[in-house]
Amino acid sequence: METRTDRVEPLLRELAPRVLGSIVRRFRDFAACEDAIQEALLAAATHWPREGVPDDPRAWLIRVAARRMTDHIRSEAARRRREEVTASLDDDAALAPDDDRAHERDDSLALLFMCCHPALTTSSAIALTLRAVGGLTSAEIARAFLVPEATMAQRISRAKQSIQESNVPFELPTPQESGQRLVAVMHVLYLIFSEGYTASSGSELQRVDLSAEAIRLARMLQSLLPQDSEVQGLLALMLLTDARRAARSGPAGELISLDQQDRGAWDRTAIAEGVALVSAALSKGSVGAYQLQAAIAAVHDEAASTAATDWAQILALYSLLQRMSDNPMVALNHAIATAMVRGPEAGLKAIDALASDPRLAGSHRLDAVRAHLLERAGQPGAAIEHYRRAAARTSSTPERNYLLTQAARLNDSS
């Protein structure tokens, strides 16, 4: 049964960054503003379900948060005995009528750029983005990452402190910087998505769905920057990957590899949306890494089976991606695609060439891929050995269980 809280909650989450942006623009002090917004959201979450949603919910939140900020500044000013600050606030300039809807888009963007600023560590940026832009509470974020609430609260307050200390401004980056800064924002959203996608099973019902949250934030970013084809690619990649979610694990949380998945369980609506997005992005001609990865995901999602997959196209896309980024994981996937097009021996040869890359040394993925290819090449003994080695090296329980299951299956039949 839908409660009234069910309707209030999404509305608050959607309003959170817009209200925060507006308050930060007026009061500047990001850390204090962020606290004020959290209080305003809490007030709304308790009042609105009982008394009904106000006619202009955004204005309501801004009013409450601005009042908190004024109180905060007054008490700070009193503490420091600086009367002039209070005097300047008394003319109520800070609560002046709303002419700031025009600024809303810039404010939301500036907020994202601020939370994903390179001065922050990645884990801080992730936590802060989820709270300040996503409108989640520290407790919800803590549960999503399976860490104690106090730890997460501390992480968020350290992040806010770094923003203060590094003098990260609340403004849009200059055109010169904006490319690099957008890369950082997209990276943070992508990491939030991956965290949700690879999270182990467990008390998922009580956890915020981080993948869905990342998709929501990427949608917001896309609506703010509709012309950016990489942002489009990022959203497409998330949708096309998330579309396979229901099929990628079994009832006990065990991993199911792509070739074994029930493709009927894939989310066709998400696939259609992702394909449309990536096609639109690619047609603009400014190809980037997210668009290429989305294009690869689209080829998989549109195939009826592994055998019917257009591996030649996937190989070509990985070749492009490899030229664009010096990433060993891309090279590894390129090797897999090579094996699908030219046979397992060609893939194994490509992997041998990669084995000397120090960034892959000790990586369980290299062993796992090698095991798969050895199995396909008809060398079960060596395949078992590499499955087991990969299992010993991975730190993901579902992955380890999957790898040991493969080893056991081969061992049984040989």
Q: Residue 253 or 343: which CB sits closer to another protein? A: 253
User: Which one of residues 254, 273, 310, 357 is an interface residue with another protein (CB under 8 A)?
Assistant: 254
Coil, strand or helix at 124: helix
**Minimum CB–partner distance for residue 276 and another protein (Å):** 39
User: Which one of residues 3, 174, 203, 227 is an interface residue with another protein (CB under 8 A)?
Assistant: 203
Residue 296, CA distances (Å) to 22, 238, 244 in order? 39, 12, 14
Phi, psi of 176, deg, nearest 5: -65, -40
How many other C-beta atoms can be found within 10 angstroms of the C-beta atom of residue 102? Answer: 8
Give the integer Cα–Cα distance in Å for 94 and 397. 52
401 binds another protein (CB under 8 A): yes
Give the integer Cα–Cα distance in Å for 312 and 397. 33
**Minimum CB–partner distance for residue 207 and another protein (Å):** 12
Choose the binding region for another protein from 110-118, 210-218, 286-294, 397-405 (rule: CB under 8 A): 397-405
381 binds another protein (CB under 8 A): no
Choose the binding region for another protein from 87-95, 273-281, 349-357, 398-406 (rule: CB under 8 A): 398-406
Give the integer Cα–Cα distance in Å for 195 and 242. 12
The residues, ordered by sequence, that sit 6+ positions from 36 with a Cβ below 8 Å of its Cβ are 23, 65, 66, 68, 69, 72
Q: Residue 36 or 255: which CB sits closer to another protein? A: 255
343 binds another protein (CB under 8 A): no
39 binds another protein (CB under 8 A): no
395 binds another protein (CB under 8 A): yes
392 binds another protein (CB under 8 A): yes
Phi, psi of 120, deg, nearest 5: -90, 150
User: Which one of residues 68, 155, 216, 388 is an interface residue with another protein (CB under 8 A)?
Assistant: 388
412 binds another protein (CB under 8 A): yes
149 binds another protein (CB under 8 A): no
User: Which one of residues 202, 223, 257, 325 is an interface residue with another protein (CB under 8 A)?
Assistant: 202
Give the integer Cα–Cα distance in Å for 102 and 290. 30
Q: Where do we find the tokens 């591996």?
A: 311
279 binds another protein (CB under 8 A): no
Per-position DSSP letters for 200-253, written without gaps between them:
-SSSGGGS--HHHHHHHHHHHHHHHSTT-HHHHHHHHHHHHHHTTGGGSB-TTS
Choose the binding region for another protein from 23-31, 86-94, 214-222, 248-256 (rule: CB under 8 A): 248-256
313 binds another protein (CB under 8 A): no
**Minimum CB–partner distance for residue 396 and another protein (Å):** 10
**Minimum CB–partner distance for residue 147 and another protein (Å):** 11
DSSP for residue 120: S
383 binds another protein (CB under 8 A): no
Choose the binding region for another protein from 12-20, 71-79, 123-131, 401-409 (rule: CB under 8 A): 401-409
154 binds another protein (CB under 8 A): no
Helices 104-115, 175-198: inter-axial angle, 10-degree rounding: 70
Per-position DSSP letters for 45-102, written without gaps between them:
HHHHHHH---SSHHHHHHHHHHHHHHHHHHHHHHHHT-HHHHHHHHT-GGG----GGG
In 3-state terms the chain splits into helix, strand, coil percentages (rounded to 5) of: 75, 0, 25
Judged by CB under 8 A, how many residues of this single chain contact another protein? Answer: 20
Answer left, alpha or beta for residue 106, where phi above 0 means left and psi between -120 and 50 means alpha.
alpha
**Minimum CB–partner distance for residue 406 and another protein (Å):** 9
> Rule CB under 8 A: which residues touch another protein?
202-203, 252-254, 388, 391-395, 397, 401, 404-405, 407-409, 411-412
